[in-house]
Structure 1
Amino acid sequence: MTVNSKATTISHDIFQSQKTITTPENRTLTTQYDPNTLLTERVSIPGLYDMSYGYDTRGRLSSVNTNTRMTEFTYNAQGFLESITDPEDHTATYDYDPVGRVTGVNRPDGSTVGFTYDRNGNMTVLTNPSTVSHGFGYNRVNLNSSYQTPISGGYQYVYDKDRRLIQTIFPSGAQINNLYDKTRLTRIQTPEGNIDYTYLCGTKVGSITKGTNTITYGYDGSLVTSETLSGALNQTLSYSYNSDFKLAGFSYAGSSENYTYDKDGLLTGAGSFTITRNIQNGLPESVTDNALNLSRSFNGYGEIDSQDFTISSSLTSWDLTRDNAGRITAKTETVDGITSNYIYTYDPMGRRLTATKDGALVEDYSYDLAGTRTHEINTLRGISRSLAYSDEDHLITAGTVTYQYDYDGFLARKTDGSDITEYDYSS
C-alpha cells in the first residue's frame, strides 16, 4: 500500500505461519501464528522483547509473556474470566450472577468491589471496598436517568423522544438544559447564561458563543484551519497540514511553530527541537535544539530506563530499575554532580508505600480500603499528616487543613488556620 509515495508492505509466509508489516521507514512488526487455529502466538518488534501468547484448549487467551513478565488468565466452568494474575503474582478474581454479569471484583489487596443489576442488565448499585454504595437509575429505554451519591444527593437526567439528553438536574436544584434543532445541539442553558452553537455544512461547528465571547472555526474539508476568538480576547489561531493530514504548522499572536514527521508519521521536529528516533522501533531517543539535549534509553519493554538532560554540560541524569509490573523500584539520580539513590515500594494495588533516599526513609504512605491515602510522611517536604475522607471520597481533613463541599459535591471552602479560601463554579 502506497500513500503519498510512502509504501507499507505486508508479506505473508504461509509455510512459516508468519506475517510481516514493513513501514515506509523500514521498521518491521512480525506476527507468528498457529497454522491450525490462526491464533497469534508471538509478536516481534526489533529492539524490543517478543510478546508471546498462550491459549487453553478452547482457544481462550491464558497467558501473555514478555521476557520475564507474564500475565495469566483463568476461566470458570461457564467460560467467564475467573482470574487475572499480573507479573508480580498479584491476582484479581471475578464473581458472576447466573446470567454472566460481574457481581464482584476481588482485588489483590483483599478488598472487593460489588455490582448489582436490574432485569435489563443495567448496573444499579456500585459498592466500593469500604461498602459505600452509589446508585444508578434508568428509564424505559435503558438510558441513565439518575445517580444517587452516598451523601450529596441525587442527579437527574431527562431525555427527549430521540433519546437526546435535554436536562441535567443537580442535587442543589441547579439545572442545565440542552436545546436542539432537528439533529444538532444549538444551545446549552445554564444558570450563568447560554452557550450557543452555529453550524456550517452538516455537523461542523461554525461558532460557539457565550455572552460576549465567540470562537469561530474555519475548515479545509474536515480539518480545522483556524479558530478566531472575539470578545475578551481577539486573536486567531491558524493551523496548516501536510499531505498526510498531520499538523504541519501552528501560528498565534504573531508567532508560529512548524512540525515535521518521518515517513511513518512519527513526530521528528517541533519548532526548534529535533526528535531522533530509534531506527528499528521509532522510540524517541533524543530531543535537541541549539542548546538543550535530552537523551533517553529504553529497556526491552519500551519503558524509559535512563535519561540525561544537558545544556552545554550535564544538569541532571537518572537510571531506573523496574519490577515486573513496570513500576519504578530504584532510581539513581545525579543533579549538578551530586548522586542520590532512591528505593520505592508498593502495595499489591500498585500504590506507593515508601521511598528511601540513600538509605533513609523520606516518604511513607497508608491507604484505606477504597484506595484513598490516609497518612502521609514526606521528610523532604516537611510533611507528616493524616487525611480523612467522606463516604464520597471527598477529602475532609489533611492534617490541620479542613475542606467543605457544596450540595453538588464541589469543593466550596478550604480552611487552613486563619486562612480561608472559598470556591465558586460555573455549570
Structure 2
Amino acid sequence: MSLAMIVTLVVFVLIFLLRMPISLGMIAAGTFYFIFTGTDLGSVANHIMNTYYSNYVIIAVPLFIFTANVMNSGKVTEMIFKFATGLAGGRRGALGHVNVIASLIFSGMTGSAIADASGLGKMEIDAMKKAGYDDSFSCAITAASATVGPIFPPSIPLVMYAMLSGASVGALFLGGMVPALLICLGLMIYVSVVSKVRNYPREEKVPMRAFLTFTLQAMPALLTPIILLMGIYTGVVTPTEAGAIAAIYAILVAILAYKAMNLKGLLDIIKDTIKDTGSVSLMVGAAAVISYIVAREQVASELGTLVLSLTDNKYVFLIVVNVIILILGMFIDTSTIQLVFVPIMIPVAKAFGIDLVHFGLVVTLNMMIGLSTPPFGMLLFITAGISGTSLKAVMKEIMWPIIAMLAILLLITFVPEIVLFLPKTFGLM
C-alpha cells in the first residue's frame, strides 16, 4: 500500500471518529491523496463525469425518491393501513401482522425503508400503543418490517447497485420478491409467538363489506407497483422510465383519488426531493472519488488475489462478506457501505463466479439489516423518536427480529435459486 493511500485511510478514519458527514470525509480524504500524488484534478473530474453523466439508470433514483415522498402523505398511508387491517383478520396480535403486511404493500410503492418507518410507521406505532402493545415491541416490529422496503421492488438501493455492478435492474427487482416475502413470513411468525406469550389483544374481524370498501379505497395506491413492474417486465418501459411513470401516477393518486395534496403540498414535496437527491448526489460524487483512488491503487485486484489465495470456496467468501457488512452496518450508514465497500467486493465476487444478481440481493439485505442493528441503526432512532420510547428498550426488543432476518440472509446466501428463480422464469437471465 502506497504512502498516499495510507494517508488517505488515516484521514478518512479520523473524520469518521470526529463524526463529520461521511461524504465530506471522503472528499477530504481524496483531496489529501491527490495532493500527495500530484494528480491533475481536471482529469479526475473528467473521468467521474464521463462515468456518471451517461449513466441512465441513476436517473431513476430521484424519481423513486419523489414517488416515496408523495406516497408518504397521510391519506395514502391511511388507506394502506386500513386495507392491511382487513387482511390481518381478528387473530391475536393482529396489529403486529398489520404492521408487517402494510410495510410489504408500502414497499411496492416507495422502495425506501426510511419512508416506511417515518410515514406509515407513525400510524402503526400510534395504533399499537392505543391497543395496549408494549412500546418497545411496536417500535421493534416497525423497524424490522421497514427493512422490506428496499428488498421488494421497486428499490432505490437495488437501482444504485445496478449502477455500480452493471446487473439488470429488472432481474434485481424480481430477485428481491421471494426474499422479501420470506422476511415478512419470519417476522409474522415472531409476532405470533410474542403475541401468544404476552397475551396481546385480538382485533375485531373486519366485516366483508367493510373490507371491500377498504380494498376499493386502497386500489389506486395498490395499482402503483403493478403498473410499475408490468411496464418493466413487458419491455414497454425501462426501469428509469417506469420511475417517471410512477412519479406521475403518484401525483394523480394523491391529488385526484385521495385529494391529499394541493399545489403547496406538491411544491413542498419537490423541495424535499431536491434536498434528498442532493444528499444522495453528494454521497455518490464523494464515493466516486474514493472508487477512482481504489481503482488506481488496484485495491480490488489485490484484495481478490488475497482472498483467492486463502480460499477457493465462494460460500466462504460470501460468509466473510456478510460478516464484514454486518459489522460495518452497526456503525456506518448503508449508503457509505454500498458506494465505497461493495464496489471493491464486486470484482472478487465475479472471480468466484457468483451471479451478480444473487450477490446484489445478499449485500442489500445485509445492509438493510444494518438499519435495525444497534448501536447506530437509523430505523431504531426513527421509531424510538416517533413513539418517545427509550432507545435502550427498542434495542433490546429488536434482537429477535434481527435473528429472524439473519436466518433469511443465510438462506438466500446458500440457496441462490431463491433469488434467481423468478429472474430466470421471466427470461431476464
TM-score interval for Structure 1 and Structure 2 normalised by the shorter chain = under 0.3
Higher strand residue share: 1
The higher relative CO (CA closer than 8 Å, separation ≥ 6) is in 2
Higher helix residue share: 2
Computing the radius of gyration from Cα coordinates, the structure with the larger value is 1
TM-score by length of 1: 0.16
